[in-house]
A = this chain, B = another copy of it.
């Protein structure tokens, strides 16, 4: 049987988790990555060098890489002093390769060779994309970096996001979507990682037209102000709003219980309805199949670096890489049969 073509659209910790798990299976992965990041080292490089944002791509490359630990440590190394302070070595690598190769995509392909990457990492666009955030009070914030710990967003809430200028999709991304057997969306922040990809001209339309089945890995927790008290249907409705009515075929949903300490921490930071709920009675017409399982991670995520600290299970509620990948592979198997039960709950 031919290996399945799998397109992923995710980002941040969620993307790293997803790809680290999936790379162990015999499938052809094309990881589409948003180019809207403009914070930290990435933001400085965009502004000063005029390059595309390397941060998320670096994480994707590392998650799919078969390279030595030394090379991973090197790519995650962040300079601590002088004019280089805060710059991540992997970001500098990608920016240098972009300059040498004359295009970000070609630079990413070269980096993938150096890092012995399994699958492909595809920037969603080769153009300069800038995210704008419209709040419910009609104010517009310029730049994705405003999504992080923003008290105004916490208080007012997001109405929607849009791109400052229209940007064209990377033809390689459109090709991968067209050839996909499965499109896996999430895990990842709705406004920070998932939706920016769908705002790029042609991407949502390509998903709409594609024969691929769509799996959505629903978030475990909500973000205050951004997705306050969202349930599964809220997430699905917003995403389907871009890619077509009932376009999502499968939703994975966590039933595992996070540690008490984390529950306390998240309650304070994200509000008491921070756990994403599923209300079976809310909607009798939903078409997606819900796959419930315990996805909670109990250990560290090796090789991942967020800002200046490694992500440890002790401080974040997040997906377990292996559990998630295993479940997705199971859905790929299920998908082979036409007559499976309508809902697996």
Contact = CB atoms under 8 A, between A and B. Distances in A.
Interface in A85-100: 87, 89, 92-93, 95-97, 99-100
Interface string A21-49: 00000000000000000000000110111
In this complex, which of A47, A49, A73, A96 has the most chain B Cβ atoms within 10 angstroms of its Cβ? A96
Instruction: State the majority secondary structure of interface residues on A.
Output: helix
Interface string A96-115: 11011000000000100110
A238 interface: no
A93 B70 CA distance: 12
Contacts of A44: 82-83
A327 to B, nearest CB: 36
Contacts of A48: 81-84
A42 to B, nearest CB: 13
Q: How large is the interface on A (under 10, 10 to 19, 20 to 34, 35 or more residues)?
A: 20 to 34
A93 B114 CA distance: 14
B100 A73 contact: yes
Contacts of A73: 100
A50 interface: yes
A73 to B, nearest CB: 5
Given A49-B79, A79-B96, A84-B87, 4 more contacts: A48-B83, A70-B113, A74-B97, A79-B99
A158 B44 CA distance: 44
A71 interface: yes
Given A48-B84, A114-B71, A89 B96 contact: yes
Contacts of A80: 99
A162 interface: no
A77 B96 contact: yes
A114 B113 CA distance: 12
A77 B101 CA distance: 11
A83 B45 CA distance: 9
Given A44-B83, A84-B84, A74 B49 contact: no
